């Protein structure tokens, strides 16, 4: 046995990779293997029978002696203690891995500096035969590479932790089946969960109740299929509020087996709130842009609306579509300023719209307690967001009686102000309670302002319109002569919409010798001024015809009158004929007017090829020609508005007129009333009418058999 122990001792001292030494109670090294000096950085030194300060550098010797005295004094081992020693100068150690320092909470870790090595030392007490202390055994093992590897791992963990903390992510770990295996202090600090709460329910316990069934189902599916779990949900925080989190969890594989799940939650509440705010701002900007577009649309449409009824139609349609109102109405003050008269809109196509004012009366007293009456009396917007608000403002009795007979539940009344004084009121209503925002109120007030200006303009226009109609009736024949051997029909279409007067005119009257005077003329321009000029020419023609009915004489007289009384820029044309209704024979003269259309029963339709002459007032020698309307034939006089427009020249128009007349059925040609309608409809179809149109047809029917 002693031989075996001696062999074992000798083997350890010679071949063990660790440094071995025995120190007595006086700190003297009695035994040491050859590896120890090499590890301590003093190769070749013989530590035997020497104390540490006799063969080691001072700082290293101090560490040795401190450890030895501690073991001897306390009679306890120091099982593992790292000792950093310098490498021998002749060694060429590998270049150290340079890692930036990263502070990490917890106990400090050994950092391996360049040119040093780390020894893991164990100091073990040795007792003698009497049980007393006999010395200390030292074992020293080079763990430099292990410590470097541990340091690399530690620094990677530090980086990962720092990255997680910098990104405000909360990391958690779950078992392969999705259960809790590790505590998550950061998660609990947000949610207020205790360790026991988290251990039982985990992160799912604080998910919003509305989100939990969906999230739990997705989580279970991902765990079952071992696929990435990625979603978002709301979490109840320790304050009781809910915040939005995005989550991503991935399975961690070892070979073909999932050993755990690692998840990261990111608080995206600020992002969600910013997105919601951006959405609200976008909606507000879109609504503002829409309201601006509606006002621009109203401006454009009001520019074309000439009557009060058309103005009301534009305003109510634009307002209702812009704020989603169910009903609308406009009422104007009567001349006595005591009553409001509701104006019925004039929709396209003439359709009635009774739903536009389901509960409105045709007349409302300004003194009544109604939405529009209050708006007019107080010259301010009236807003009632629900029936209770209406009762509070109008009085319970009046509002209660009103709401019993209507489905309306919110109201807006706006005064129509012209020069600061009310001229009426605009009203919108809703079938549900409705709050009007400040932006909508500003829009509605602007709309009411446009409505007031347009109504004021329309009222002025309608007064002019009424005057124009009366003037028109006085300037055109109220009816045409009824003759046994000739049938006459006429049409007049003014170019100016809704003002039934223009510069075109026609006239048919009997002369003292029973012959028929027929005239068609065109005064340049439109509207009342053109009509006034037309009236002067028409009256002068009648006076001249009664004195000398010959066409050339009448046009010559009009030339003299025109030169003396009309402006040089005035352009007027006249076609004038004198016809014997018994025979159809007559004379004709033309002052720059389009040639008459001749339609015969036995020959193609054509326009007269006679020279038209110059307009009135232009120096010329007036000529007259004879012509005859045979039995069954028709002659049509017309103005240039029938054949000329922006897309069609005069020559093309004349060719088209002949073609249209040729297509007229015999029953139309034989009926002047139907013929003039046929010609006007066909010639204007597909074209915008930009000039007055006058058509006069004379037809000699066949003699009865």
- State pLDDT tens for residues 50-66: 999 999 988 889 999 99
Q: Using CA atoms, how far apart are residues 566 and 558, in angstroms rounded to an integer? A: 11
Distances in whole angstroms, Cα of residue 643 to Cα of each of 481, 595, 600, 658, 663: 27, 11, 20, 10, 16
> Rounded to 5 degrees, what are φ and ψ at 159?
-60, -45
Most confidently modeled of 102-116, 144-158, 554-568, 633-647?
A: 633-647
Per-residue pLDDT tens digits for 128-159 = 888 889 999 999 999 988 888 888 888 876 76
d(C-alpha 521, C-alpha 506), whole Å: 6
What stretch of H or E contains 281? Answer: helix 269-304
pLDDT for 585: 92
Under the banding of pLDDT at 50, 70 and 90, the label for residue 403 is: low
Residue 495 CB contacts under 8 Å (≥ 6 apart), including other chains: 502, 526, 641, 689, 690, 691, 692, 693
* Mean of pLDDT over the chain: 83
- Number of residues that this document lists for the chain: 705
> Closest Cα to residue 516, out of 573, 580, 438, 432?
580
Q: Determine the pLDDT at residue 167.
A: 55
**Is pLDDT at 400 greater than 70 in this prediction?**
no
* Average pLDDT, integer, range 351-368: 58
Instruction: Using the predicted structure, report yes or no on whether residue 357 has a pLDDT greater than 50.
Output: no
Q: pLDDT confidence of 108, banded at 50, 70, 90?
A: very low
C-alpha torsion sign, points 66, 67, 72, 74: positive
Q: What percent of the chain has pLDDT over 70?
A: 86
Any idea what the Cα angle at residue 301 is, between residues 296 and 302, rounded to 5°? 95
pLDDT value at 94 more than 90: no
Q: Which H helix or E strand runs over 272?
A: helix 269-304
Read off the pLDDT band of 3 (50, 70, 90): low
What confidence score (pLDDT) does residue 500 get?
Answer: 56
414 has a pLDDT exceeding 60: yes
Other Cβ atoms within 10 Å of 218 Cβ, number: 14
pLDDT(352) > 60: no
Q: Is the pLDDT of residue 613 over 80?
A: yes
Closest residue by Cα to residue 440 from 312, 288, 223, 225: 288
Place 402 in a pLDDT band, splitting at 50, 70 and 90: low
Q: Give the Cα separation of 381 and 383 in Å (integer).
A: 6
Confidence category of residue 501, pLDDT binned at 50, 70, 90: low
Average of per-residue pLDDT across 85-97: 57
Question: Where is mean pLDDT largest: 21-35, 96-110, 463-477?
Answer: 21-35
What confidence tens digit (pLDDT) does each residue in 646-697 have? Answer: 888 999 999 999 999 999 998 999 899 999 999 999 999 888 887 888 999 9
pLDDT for residue 90: 52
Q: DSSP strand E in 639-691: where? A: none
CB 669 within 8 Å of CB 634: yes
Sign of CA dihedral 506, 512, 513, 514: positive
Quick one: pLDDT at residue 404?
Answer: 64
Structure confidence at residue 164 (pLDDT): 56
Least Cα distance to 434 among 318, 326, 280, 330 occurs for: 326
153 CB-near residues (< 8 Å, 6+ apart)? none
pLDDT at 68: 92
Share of the chain residues as helix, strand and coil, in percent rounded to the nearest 5: 40, 25, 35
Rounded CA separation 596/610 (Å)? 10
Pairwise CA distance, residues 517 & 506, whole Å:
11
User: Is residue 439 a contact partner of residue 290, using CB atoms and an 8 Å limit?
Assistant: no
Q: Supply the DSSP symbol for 46.
A: -
Q: Average of pLDDT values for 465-489? A: 79
Spatial CB neighbours of 84, under 8 Å, sequence gap ≥ 6: 110, 112, 113, 116, 117, 118, 119
Q: Say what the pLDDT of residue 534 is.
A: 80
Residue 2 predicted with pLDDT over 60: yes
Alpha-carbon span 281 to 272, nearest angstrom: 14
- Asked if the model's pLDDT at residue 290 lies above 80, the reply is no
Instruction: Quote the CA–CA distance of 409 and 428 in Å, as a whole number.
Output: 11
Burial class (CB in 10 A: 0-12, 13-18, 19+), 632: middle
Q: How confident is the model at residue 586 (pLDDT cuts 50, 70, 90)?
A: very high
Residues 521-539 have a mean pLDDT of 78
Q: Please give the Cα distance from 642 to 653 (Å, whole number).
A: 8
Instruction: Give the H or E element holding residue 196.
Output: helix 195-201
CA distances from 296 to 64, 289, 425, 427, 446 (A): 95, 10, 21, 20, 11
Q: Taking residues 196-217, what's their average pLDDT?
A: 88
What does each C-alpha distance from 174 to 209, 211, 263, 264 come to in angstroms?
Answer: 22, 20, 8, 11
**CB-CB neighbours of 677 under 10 Å:** 15
Are 584 and 628 in contact, with CB atoms under 8 Å apart?
yes
Q: How far apart are CA 186 and CA 21, in angstroms?
A: 49
Q: Is 353's pLDDT higher than 60?
A: no
Predicted confidence at residue 100, as pLDDT, reads 39
DSSP assignment of 483-531: BTTBEEEEEEE-SSTT---EEEEEEEEE-TTS-EEEEEEEEEEEHHHHH
Which percentage of the chain shows pLDDT scores above 90?
A: 32
Distance CA 601, CA 612 (A): 25
| Lowest pLDDT segment from 255-269, 299-313, 539-553, 567-581 | 299-313
Query: Residue 66 in 3-state DSSP?
Result: helix
Sheet holding 572-579, edge to edge: 502-510, 516-526, 572-579, 585-591, 625-628
Lowest-confidence region among 99-108, 219-228, 299-308, 362-371: 99-108
């Amino acid at each position: 046995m002693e031989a075996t122990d001696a062999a074992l001792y000798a083997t350890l001292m010679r071949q063990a990779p660790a440094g071995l030494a025995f120190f007595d109670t006086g700190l003297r090294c009695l035994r040491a293997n050859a590896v120890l000096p090499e590890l301590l950085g003093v190769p070749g030194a013989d530590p035997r029978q020497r104390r540490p300060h006799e063969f080691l550098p001072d700082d290293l010797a101090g560490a040795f002696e401190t450890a030895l005295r501690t073991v001897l004094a306390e009679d306890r081992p120091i099982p593992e203690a790292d000792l950093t020693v310098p490498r021998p100068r002749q060694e060429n150690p590998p270049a150290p891995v340079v890692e930036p320092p990263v502070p990490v909470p917890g106990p400090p870790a050994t950092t391996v500096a360049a040119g040093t090595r780390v020894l893991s030392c164990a100091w073990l007490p040795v007792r003698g035969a009497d049980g007393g202390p006999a010395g200390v055994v030292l074992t020293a093992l080079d763990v430099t590479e292990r410590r470097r590897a541990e340091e690399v791992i530690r620094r990677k963990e530090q980086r990962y932790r720092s990255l997680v903390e910098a990104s405000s992510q909360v990391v958690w770990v779950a078992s392969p089946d999705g259960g809790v295996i590790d505590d998550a202090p950061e998660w609990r600090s947000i949610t207020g969960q205790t360790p026991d709460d988290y251990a039982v329910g985990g992160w799912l316990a604080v998910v919003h109740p509305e989100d939990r069934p969906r999230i739990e189902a997705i989580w279970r599916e991902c765990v079952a299929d071992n696929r990435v779990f990625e979603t978002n949900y709301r979490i109840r925080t320790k304050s009781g509020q809910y915040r939005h989190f995005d989550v991503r969890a991935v399975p961690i594989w070892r070979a073909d087996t999932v050993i755990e799940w690692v998840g990261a939650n990111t608080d995206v509440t600020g992002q969600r709130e910013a997105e919601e705010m951006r959405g609200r701002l976008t909606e507000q900007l879109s609504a503002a842009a829409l309201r601006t577009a509606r006002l621009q649309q109203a401006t454009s449409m009001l520019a074309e609306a000439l009557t009060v009824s058309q103005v009301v139609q534009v305003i109510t349609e634009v307002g209702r579509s812009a704020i989603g109102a169910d009903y609308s109405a406009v009422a104007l003050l009567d001349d006595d300023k005591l009553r409001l008269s509701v104006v019925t809109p004039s929709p396209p196509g003439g359709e009635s719209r009774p739903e536009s004012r389901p509960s409105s009366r045709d007349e409302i007293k300004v003194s009544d307690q109604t939405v529009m009456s209050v708006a007019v009396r107080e010259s301010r917007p009236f807003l009632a967001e629900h029936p209770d608000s209406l009762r509070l403002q109008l009085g319970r009795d009046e509002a209660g009686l009103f709401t019993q007979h209507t489905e309306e539940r919110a109201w807006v009344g706006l005064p129509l102000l012209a020069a600061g004084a009310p001229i009426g009121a605009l009203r919108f209503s809703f079938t549900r309670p409705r709050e009007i925002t400040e932006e909508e109120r500003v829009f509605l007030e602007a709309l009411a302002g446009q409505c007031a200006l347009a109504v004021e303009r329309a009222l002025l226009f309608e007064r002019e319109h009424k005057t124009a109609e009366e003037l028109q009736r006085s300037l055109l024949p109220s009816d045409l002569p009824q003759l046994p051997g000739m049938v006459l029909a006429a049409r007049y279409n003014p170019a100016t919409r809704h003002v039934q007067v223009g510069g075109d005119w026609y006239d048919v009257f009997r002369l003292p010798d029973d012959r028929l005077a027929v005239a068609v003329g065109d005064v340049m321009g439109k509207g009342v001024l053109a009509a006034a000029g037309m009236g002067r020419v028409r009256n002068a023609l009648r006076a001249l015809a009664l004195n000398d009915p010959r066409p050339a004489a009448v046009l010559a007289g009009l030339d003299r009158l025109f030169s003396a009384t009309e402006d040089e820029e005035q352009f007027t044309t006249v076609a004038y004929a004198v016809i014997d209704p018994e025979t159809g024979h007559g004379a004709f003269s033309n002052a720059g007017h389009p040639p008459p259309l001749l339609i015969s029963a036995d020959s193609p339709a054509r326009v007269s090829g006679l020279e038209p002459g110059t307009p009135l007032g232009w120096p010329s020698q007036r000529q007259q020609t004879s012509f005859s309307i045979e039995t069954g034939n028709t002659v049509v006089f017309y103005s240039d508005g029938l054949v000329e427009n922006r897309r069609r020249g005069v020559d093309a128009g004349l060719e088209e007129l002949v073609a249209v007349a040729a297509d007229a059925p015999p029953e139309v040609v034989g009926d002047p009333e139907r013929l003039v309608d046929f010609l006007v409809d066909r010639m204007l179809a597909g074209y915008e009418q930009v000039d007055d149109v006058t058509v006069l047809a004379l037809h000699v029917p066949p003699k009865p058999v």
